Structure 1
């Protein structure tokens, strides 16, 4: 069991969890919530590295037959922590504001509801597999958040980076709603009440 806990796929998942506070800390490099260009580039770099580990931890676990219970538990938690922390950070610094906050709220609510549903179904020994569309949803969220983390620093190089990030966030929110409904519908079959 201990050897599986320290397998490379699980180490990548642990690394992704460690990246969550690092992304947030980049916006506090000057002692308060600020997002100068260098902070945004640093946050984006850490976020991209963390996002890439999301692909490789699962791929390597399957390819090397190193799947583990802790990996299956922590992988979705690491994803949700990374997305939630980044969305809250971007809302706090004003990159996501106004109506666009609703896209972030939809994403956060769905992640919490699906996590609760999965936990409930796990007690019933019911597994709800991750769909291909749910994987695309995660990818779209990561791309949108990457654009938004770069935000104004990216707009100086390629005007419209922030707008593209907001548009992708809305696309992610729509896909998030659909996949959340899919999970909820699958879970309803197993709810006694």
Structure 2
């Protein structure tokens, strides 16, 4: 393969995927959340950038075409595992995450079974929107983890009545709890809604790929 800039960006995105999880092994929160968010967003931007540069510079290659969807899937799958873990297996996160993971495994297996005819399962425009929705949702949920950690740390041992009074504006908010709480709630629901949208798009693209592959899955009738 030729080490073009688009291919290098794709390889770096693939290497960044496990890096998101490693942040939580070597750094404490909220630093782990910050580093994971920066790494994930940067890698997500390269998903658009490497394709744009490859087309603009006429450097499209088989290696890049093969590795690009693998890097995308690795990023999404590992980020989903991390977020599902620190969300405490919350069903609002767990269910769409399960749908997304199931679809990725199903389509990957379908491509492997089809072998040389797997070219009919080309990436569609809807699939690109699906990937974008996944990455936006995961980025927002990483940001939610930061707000949640800051709010939780600054309210440890604080009387719940005092917290309620601060959030309602009846007491002075010296620690900035109000905006941290609003950020926590806003990013939570924003991330959850985007993740469910991504799950729906994921199901739609999975069904589309399955429908296209049906003629190749039928057994030949013996005369």
Distance 1:124 1:133, change over 3 A: closer
The counterpart of 1:173, out of the listed 184, 199, 209, is 199
Partner of 2:47: 54
Equivalences for 1:12-51 in 2 at 5 Å? 12-30=9-27, 36-51=29-44
In structure 2, the gaps of 5 or more residues are 149-179
Distance (Å, rounded) in 2 between the aligned partners of 1:125 and 1:152: 39
Distance (Å, rounded) in 2 between the aligned partners of 1:48 and 1:125: 30
The counterpart of 2:5, out of the listed 3, 8, 11, is 8
In structure 1, the gaps of 5 or more residues are none
| Cα deviation digits, residues 62-105 of structure 1 (max 9, x gap) | 22111111111110000000000000111122265124311001
Partner of 2:158: none
Count of aligned residue pairs for this structure pair:
186
| Cα deviation digits, residues 154-178 of structure 1 (max 9, x gap) | 4527241022111111111011111
Equivalences for 1:100-179 in 2 at 5 Å? 100-124=93-117, 126-154=119-147, 156=180, 158=183, 159-179=185-205
RMSD (Å), alpha carbons: 1.7
Kindly name which structure, 1 or 2, has the bigger radius of gyration based on alpha carbons: 2
| Cα deviation digits, residues 106-142 of structure 1 (max 9, x gap) | 0011111111222333323643221111100100000
Distance 1:160 1:81, change over 3 A: same
Distance (Å, rounded) in 1 between the aligned partners of 2:147 and 2:60: 38
Partner of 1:188: 214
Q: TM-score, normalised by structure 1?
A: 0.89
